[in-house]
Structure 1
Amino acid sequence: MKKKLLLVFTLLMVSMTSLVACSKDKGSKENEKVTLTVWSWDVALKQLEASAEKFKETNPNVEFVFEEMGTEQIYTKLSTGLATGDGLGDIITLEGEQLSGYASNYPNGFLELNDVVKKGDFLPVKMGEVSVNGNIWFPLGCRPNRYVLPYGLF
C-alpha cells in the first residue's frame, strides 16, 4: 500500500515537482493509515508540504512526517540507510547530479518512475540528471544561475 501511495503521490508531484525514493512496504489495506517520512531542505520542503496537503484531500489516510535537514545531512543519512537497508525516508529530495552515484552504487535503492515520468514534460538537461542506467527518477526542477559583472568593468 505504501508503495502504491508513493506512486500516486508522485503523480501529483509531477504537476507540482519533487523527488521520490522507495519504501520496502509491500502492501496493506486500502484505508489503513500510512505515514510517509519526507527528507528535504528549506524551499523544497515547503513545496512538498503544500503538495502533501493537496494530496491528503483525496487520501485522508496518509500522514506525512517532514524532516528538514541540509544537503550534507541528507546525503549522510541516505548513504547509511542505503548501505544498511534501514532508516531511509520514504520521499527524499536529492540533487540531480548526486543521483547517478547513488543509483549506480545502490541500483535497487530507489523506485524507478519509467512508466510515470514522460521525458517530453521536462527539460532535456533535467532528464539527463535523473536518467541512470535506463531508469528514470523524478526531476525536481532547475536551479537559477546568476551572472554578475563587476562595476566598472565596461
Structure 2
Amino acid sequence: MIYSKQYKERIECAFAAFCKVVLRNAAFNAYRDIGRKQKHEISLEYLMEEKYFKPFTTDSYFEKQSKPTVYHVCGKTVIIGNEQLGQVFSILSEQRKNVLILYFYCHYTDAKIGQIYGRSRSTANYWKLAALKQLRKELERLEHEQETNTI
C-alpha cells in the first residue's frame, strides 16, 4: 500500500506526540518517586550532628561470657554460654527447658520428644512453640529493662 507524504507526516506527528506524553508521564513518576524517598530518608550529615548517635556497632559473638549456665537433660550436659539466654532460660518451667534443650541441643524430633513424655508429636510441638514464645517474651522484657537502666 502506498501512502501519501502528507499522511506519513501526520503519522509521524501523532507518534511524536505520543512519545512526548509517555516521556512526560515517566518524568512525573520519577519525580514523584524521588519525592517519596526524600520524605523517608535522612541525610548522613544530619545524623552525624546528633550527640547520641553512634554510626557503628560492635559485634559481641566471641566475647567470653561471665558465667555459663549448665543443664543436664536425658544424661546429656548442655552449656548455655550466653548470659542473657541463661538468665531467661532459668525462668522457664522444667518441662519447657527440657523440651527446648532436647529439640535444639540434642536434635530430637517432636515425635521423639512426645514419645519420651508419653504424648503425641503435636503436643510436643505445642510445648516447644509455647516455650519459644515465653522465651522471646522474657528476652524482650529483659532487653527493655536493660535499655531503661542505661538511660
Q: TM-score, normalised on structure 1?
A: 0.20
User: Comparing both structures, which one devotes a greater share of its residues to helix?
Assistant: 2
Q: TM-score, normalised on structure 2?
A: 0.20
User: Comparing both structures, which one devotes a greater share of its residues to strand?
Assistant: 1
